[in-house]
Structure 1
Amino acid sequence: MTACHALVTGGGSGVGRTIALALAGAGVEVTICGRREAQLAAVAAENERVHGIVADVTDEASMTKLYETAEAARGPFGIVVANAGMAGSAPAAKTTLADWRRTLDVNLTGSFLTVKPALAAMAARKSGRIVFIASVAGLKGFGYVAPYVAAKHGVVGLMRALAVELVKTGVTVNAVCPSFVETDMLEESIGRIVEKTGRRVEEARASLMASNPQGRFVQPDEIAATVLWLCSEGAASVTGQAISVSGGETW
């Protein structure tokens, strides 16, 4: 690893939890954040190198306080993983402005506020790793999730802009773009399909799985392994990349 202290947002569950535990298993001190203290505490109990702080990625003051608290305790962040996200589903014509704003606030603005406090310090130290957890929805279009697709395309664009800004500093900036990952968020998506279409759960799962040419869902530990590689010395020349972890869904 390139650093001894990492931040993982949305670390209380799903992909964020898996990434945090993988980093901790590699010897990194990890601060995780989210809005649910009990979830953060449960993950922290799994590894003594994981430390939870309640914070809201959509609130700049909350993220500033997180940085101040965590870095005072364990040193500056050398790895920042912007993972927190959310998704809903509705035809674009029926998407409310509130739903649009909430989706962009969490997925796009939240990603910006997650990494912004780290940029100047990483550049000054001439080292650091920034990883955005985006989606194949940041690389192609999908129906009925227009705000999510727009937000994740924005995340990929943000990543590329920061990679250009920081390319001379030794700081790398990349995005991991999974297809459907087997997490609680996926189960919520399946539940919405069942509710809205009347399909059986097995049919809904199969319809989503069919988008992956390998015919399966991506596993959280596959995302974590990609993040660990991007944070390693061996990936020092990899920056500005949107890495599709999708079984060949995108090329």
Structure 2
Amino acid sequence: MNKVLYIIIISIFSLTIISCSSSSDDDTTTTASSTTMPDYETTTLSGKIVGTSWAFKTGRAKVPTSSTGSYSVSMINDNLSNACSSTYTGTSSNPKVSFSRDNLTVGETELGWGTGYGSVTFYDGSTNYIVTTGKITIDTHTTTAVTGKMYAIFGTNTDQEINGTFTLSRCCLSSGSYSLCSESDTTTNTDTTAPTVTSVSTTADNQSSVSTTDNITVTFSEAMDNTYVTTSTSDTNCAGTIRV
């Protein structure tokens, strides 16, 4: 009786060890597969978005108009006539891919939530799919173009997965519309404050009895163009121009 009981206890203990070992192996496999990130494809960015075949054809990177702005990137499966000024409209048959970045410096950004991560949006005309699994690499950033590569997948759905390379037109705002940038400076500040006169000196006492041969020194609050400044007075007939 004792021998039978002993054998039964050993059998149960052995089964427990086998069961625990099997469960541990399954957990490890699941974790490894969920964190694996595929390499970038060396071909043009393509794949599926909302189950629709998609391939990159036209894209732009809008340069921010202020020092606190962000680059706005749009991509579409359509040969647009003008990458900078055309409208990027996402539809169910031609979804739009977009993302924003504080800068487009060379390097890689992982997609995810929180500081230091980025995200990509798939838009099919009715729904924005926020993609936080993947990575984006910027390879080059010149005056007129930005090149790079992307891998993005919505969750684990291979019907919403794209991978490959892209070339974007770098677009700057000019006269109310976007066009291909002509210089690398990303921010333009316009001075709308008119200069003022800070001091005036002449060879004549109290700026009176000034002859045509006298020198008049006028100091302005900021640098002036090499042009003419019109002057006039309200109580005399003295008026004219000063060469700067």
TM over 0.5: no
**TM class, shorter-chain normalised?**
under 0.3
TM-score (norm 1): 0.22
- Taking structure 2 as the reference length, the TM-score comes to 0.23
Relative contact order (alpha carbons < 8 A, sep ≥ 6): 1 or 2 greater? 1
